[in-house]
Amino acid sequence: MTPKTAAPRAPRRAAKAAPLAEESAAITPAISESASLAEAEAATTDITFADLGLSAQMLEALTDAGYKKPTPIQAQAVPLALKGRDLIGLAQTGTGKTAAFTIPIIERLIGGPHRTRALILTPTRELCVQVEESFTKYGRHSGLDVIPVYGGVGYEPQVKALRAGVDVIVATPGRLLDHLEKQNVVFDEVEVLVLDEADRMLDMGFAPQINRIIAQLHPYRQTLLFSATMPPEVEALARKYLRKPVVVQVGRRSGAATTVQHFVYPCPKDKKSALLAELLKQKAMDTVLVFTRTKHGADRVVKHLERDGVKAGAMHADKTQGQRTKALEDFKSGKLRVLVATDIAQRGLDISGITHVINYDVPQQAEDYVHRIGRTGRAASTGDAYTFMCADEIAMVRTIERVIGQQIPRISVPGYDFGT
């Protein structure tokens, strides 16, 4: 029952940096899909971190972390950010965008006064922790203090840390606004603001909180906005808060990761769990992230897998932060072979080595499909994305195919396809 051979993988698209014309009100740059992108890729192929003008402390930290060459978005974004330019980074997950803003921020803050000078807003707790870990990793020789601020955990330790003073705050908008209103933190000295996964934050309804937080910041700060997509809402946000930004783009805005092979498995709804258990018998399916539409659905899939002897855990909004953290750590360490999650995990999970992403339920938005499968095939690795499609999900799969610009091969498994 090995999947049929897919077409050869397409070459990865490169980054392109395009400064916006100062007299133009447009945020969206014209993106060429041919020669200019190829030229940009060639220009960044041989760049090393030493070529980016980084300090000895930073180069040492990057060496300690095992990094040798910047990714395309890092090669394009870091020098611009170091110059103090406002920046829009358009890139799918797995392209190294977190380091693209953490590295220049650390460089800017090294040796400066001990006060809150950088603020990073993220949509989820998991992404908040990931960004905080990135600051810790790249800033290990900088002496900078960073604190993650998000809900679902103790409030008082955050109050104590904020009032004591930190250099960098990484936060979700809701909990941060709560601290701001209680005057546990002030932003008079913030020099750099990062809006990470801006499209996701707006999708989650954080626009009012973002506006209220930014109203407390100095207008002449540096603002870096990163987003996987550029819908009108994000474009409006960029127009409002960024000054003459430079746009750095990696790949097409709605394009799926080119390091991932896609397959659709037609399957009746009541046979999806059995098909999942059958596919998991393949040795190649080593580290598998499964997405379900609902929290109850995730729990049901886990119970079904455990009955079949497969170690699996669930991750969704009804789980406590401690439970979510444990499931994630067990998945990273290999204690859990399968993690079943709702869309809370479609962004912000930086886990190397995920071999397969399985859409147990077809996502309701094509962009969610792109973000889900971006969990595998990260950092130039390769991966596979399987989507289980029942009869009433056919139309959504076709919509996804139109958006990503490619037809997804169908794989029929005897006994599980429609009518069998």
Q: What is the pLDDT of residues 55-102, one digit of tens each?
A: 888 999 998 888 888 988 999 999 999 999 999 998 776 678 899 999
Q: What is the pTM of this model?
A: 0.63
| Cα 112 to Cα 129: distance, rounded to the nearest angstrom | 24
Q: And the tokens for 27?
A: 């945020």
Partner residues linked to 58 by β-bridges: none
pLDDT tens-place string over residues 200-233: 888 788 999 999 999 999 999 999 999 887 888 8
Segments in the chain below pLDDT 50: 1-26, 28-42, 252-255, 378-380, 420
The identity of residue 120, as a single letter, is: I
- Assign 298 to helix, strand or coil: helix
- The DSSP code for 413 is -
| Cα 243 to Cα 373: distance, rounded to the nearest angstrom | 33
User: Buried b / exposed e across 316-348, counting CB within 10 Å, b at 16+?
Assistant: beebeeeebbbbbeebbeeebbbbbbbbbbbbb
| Cα 262 to Cα 404: distance, rounded to the nearest angstrom | 11
Structural domains in the chain, sorted by start? 15-250 (3.40.50.300), 260-404 (3.40.50.300)
Q: And the tokens for 225?
A: 């906005």
Strands 246-250 and 15-19: antiparallel
Q: Quote the pLDDT of residue 7.
A: 38
Q: What is the dihedral of CA 115, 117, 122, 125, to 10 degrees?
A: -20
Q: Is residue 72 a contact partner of residue 14, using CB atoms and an 8 Å limit?
A: yes
Q: Is residue 14 a contact partner of residue 269, using CB atoms and an 8 Å limit?
A: no
Q: Quote the pLDDT of residue 381.
A: 52
